[in-house]
Structure 1
Amino acid sequence: MLIRNFMTPDPVTVQPETPVEDIASLLLSHHINGVPVVDGENRLLGVVTAEDLIHRGADERLEPRESVWKENFWVSFLGPQGSHRGKAEGRTAAEVMTKEVHSVEPDMHLSVAARLMIDHRLTSLPVLEAEKVVGVISRTDLLSHLKEMENPLLRED
């Protein structure tokens, strides 16, 4: 069974400059967990997931900060180099996306996608053909394959 037979073709994608608020709306309205970030030629640049966006909420603190100055000093000293914002402060897809992304090709066997999802705790994978995003395969897509095979674990008796 090939990935192309179970993937979602022409997935929802965003551009690097897409605001995080728009991405959150897309995830909610389409009932999806993430979107590929693509350039003008539909080449994969990264992925933004719900997990990337909840960093914003996780950064909120219930107790007052001891010292904002001290905290900013240590973050700037020990944090990542360069002037890019953290995910909690990011305002665009480019600032919050995960850049190191696992992907699959349409003519790979479903087991390749399943193994990547299990090994790396992923909920979906972009499907690339000639370096361009042509689809997405998710855990739900894999479950539909198991159901089609009449897997006894998924049968309703």
Structure 2
Amino acid sequence: MVKSFQGVRLAEPKKQSTSILVSDHMSTNLVTFHPDDTIDQVLDQLTKRKISGAPVVNEKGDLVGIISEVDCLKEIIKGKYSNTPSFPGTVSEHMSKEVITLSPDMSLFDAAKEFLDKRIRRFPVMKEGRLVGQISLSDVIRAFPKLKSTTW
């Protein structure tokens, strides 16, 4: 009988898997608008910050809508017909009030499916009734190349 002794084996450290939750890929430093802001103010911020939309919150910080470049186009077209160079319409007149939100604990794969199903470019992220971030289609697209095959 032959016995073999290989000595003490150290367990290989577990590889840290890249998180694939919405919370790890969402933006938390948000630009937000108030319902009484003008479309002029929105257009100024969207172009300065190179974003295409943002959540709308009231005085209490509650999410009441979302405003996008497409929503702003309504006021721009109205300005063209009235020959006015400014866009005094308010956010509350043009924002989308039916807002679909995601949870920060949602899988990024499930979020990707929501983007496909709803054909929306951004979702506010809510936790316990509070706005905690926003995830855009671009955030999701940027996240997937960083994921390793072991996390799939």
Q: TM-score range by the shorter chain?
A: 0.7 to 0.9
For residues 30-54 of structure 1, what are the alpha-carbon distances to aligned partners after superposition, in whole Å with 9 as ceiling and x for unaligned?
A: 1111110111222110000000011
Equivalent in 123, 128, 139 of residue 137 of structure 2: 139
Instruction: Decide which of 90, 100, 103 is 1:102's aligned counterpart.
Output: 100
Correspondence for 1:50: 69
Contact between 1:113 and 1:125, CA under 8 Å: does it hold in 2? Answer: no
Indicate conservation of the 8 Å contact 1:43/1:132, yes or no: yes
Tell me what 2:3 maps to: none
Residue in 2 that maps onto 1:18: 37
Question: Are residues 90 and 130 of structure 1, via their aligned partners in 2, closer, same or farther at CA, if it must alter by over 3 Å?
Answer: farther
Does the 8 Å contact 2:115/2:121 carry over to 1? yes
Equivalent AA in structure 1 for residue 139 of structure 2? D
Q: Is the 8 A contact 2:75 2:89 kept in 1?
A: no
1:37–1:47: 8 Å Cα contact kept in structure 2?
A: yes
Deviations 1:57-90 (A, max 9, x none): 34546xxxxxxxxxxxxxxxxxxxxxxxxxxx97
> Which amino acid is 2:29 matched to?
D
Aligned to 1:120: 118
Residue 130 (str. 1) matches residue 149 (str. 2): no
SS of the residue corresponding to residue 99 of structure 2 reads: coil
What are the equivalent positions in structure 2 for 1:78-89 lying under 5 Å apart?
A: none
Partner residue, 1:5: 24
CA distance in 2, matches of 1:130, 1:23: 28
Question: Would you identify which runs of 4 or more consecutive aligned residues in structure 1 move more than 3 Å?
Answer: 57-61
Unaligned runs of 5+ in 2: 1-19, 82-86
Shift of 1:9: 0.5
**Distance verdict in 2 for CA 1:119–1:90, change over 3 Å:** farther
Q: Which of 26, 33, 40 is 2:59 aligned to?
A: 40
SS of alignment partner, residue 57 of structure 1: helix
Structure 1: gaps spanning 5 or more residues = 62-88, 152-157
Larger Rg: 2
Is the Cα–Cα contact under 8 Å of residues 74 and 94 in structure 2 kept in the other structure? no
* Change beyond 3 A, Cα 1:95–1:145: same
**Taking every aligned residue pair, what percent have the same amino acid on both sides?**
28
Between the two proteins, the alignment pairs up a number of residues equal to: 124
